[in-house]
């Protein structure tokens, strides 16, 4: 966890510096409080998956930017586990800058729900359930995706993931960042 804290801290500082954004401006662009951003930069807090997504979206970087090389040897991918361990995200491939996609493996604990803010404009998400059952909320409507099934949705609107069963839910999430420069 120490490594992950350090990695997130460095990644966020680097992004702010590259963009020339103050903490106040970064808070405005990401929707994450100045206090929380400051804590992450000081290595004092590990954010939830939902918070990390807000930061990635605000800075226009793929989710995997924050996880790659974190707790693994150079170039490796690490599993991001949020503090309450309800949700884990592991990039299965490094971000592909040419094809502009992330392939993530997501695990959601029994009964857990994760609410995601809108990703960048034009982002399309495809999910494939490996184990368990996924309830997806897209624009107020719940959609059931069972083991072995896939579903696609426009992820530039708020959406939620829920595990309705008493066993862990595991699914692949393929994120297409169509409008990234
Ligand atoms: Mn999403």
DSSP, residue by residue, 7-32? HHHHHHHHHHHHHT--HHHHHHHH--
CATH 1.10.1040.10 fits 80-176, yes or no: no
CATH 2.60.120.10 domain position(s) in the chain: 80-176
pLDDT in tens, 102-116: 999 999 999 999 999
User: pLDDT at position 2, please?
Assistant: 62
User: pLDDT at position 91, please?
Assistant: 92
C-alpha distances in angstroms, 27 versus 23, 24, 32, 88, 159?
Answer: 6, 5, 5, 24, 21
- Distance (Å) from CA 115 to ligand 1 centroid: 9
User: pLDDT at position 177, please?
Assistant: 94
Query: Cα(77)–Cα(71) distance, rounded to whole angstroms?
Result: 8
pLDDT in tens, 13-36: 999 999 999 999 999 999 999 999
- Distance (Å) from CA 125 to ligand 1 centroid: 7
Buried b (16+ CB within 10 A) or exposed e, 145-177: beeeeebebebbeebebbbeeeeebbbebbbbb
Return the CATH number of 2-66, one of 1.10.1060.10, 3.30.1330.10, 1.10.260.40, 1.10.3470.10: 1.10.260.40
CATH 1.10.260.40 domain position(s) in the chain: 2-66
pLDDT tops 90 at residue 7: no
pLDDT in tens, 40-74: 999 998 799 999 999 999 999 999 988 875 444 44
pLDDT tops 90 at residue 12: yes
pLDDT in tens, 108-156: 999 999 999 999 999 999 999 999 999 999 999 999 999 999 999 999 9
- Distance (Å) from CA 149 to ligand 1 centroid: 17
Ion ligand 1: residues, CB < 5 A? 116, 155
């Amino acid at each position: 966890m120490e490594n992950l804290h350090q990695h997130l801290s460095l990644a966020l500082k680097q992004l702010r510096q590259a963009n020339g954004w103050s903490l106040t401006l970064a808070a405005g662009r990401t929707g994450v409080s100045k206090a929380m951003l400051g804590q992450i930069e000081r290595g004092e807090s590990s954010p939830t998956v939902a918070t990390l997504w807000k930061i990635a979206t605000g800075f226009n970087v793929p989710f995997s930017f924050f996880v790659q090389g974190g707790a693994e040897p150079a170039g490796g991918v690490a599993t991001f586990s949020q503090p309450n361990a309800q949700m884990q995200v592991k990039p299965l491939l490094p971000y592909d800058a040419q094809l502009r996609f992330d392939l993530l493996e997501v695990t959601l604990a029994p009964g857990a729900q994760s609410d995601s803010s809108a990703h960048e404009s034009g982002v399309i998400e495809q999910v494939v359930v490996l184990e368990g059952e996924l309830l997806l909320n897209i624009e107020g409507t719940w959609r059931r995706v069972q083991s072995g099934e896939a579903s696609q949705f426009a992820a530039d609107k708020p959406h939620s993931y829920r595990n309705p069963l008493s066993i862990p839910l595991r699914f692949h999430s393929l994120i297409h960042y169509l409008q990234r420069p």
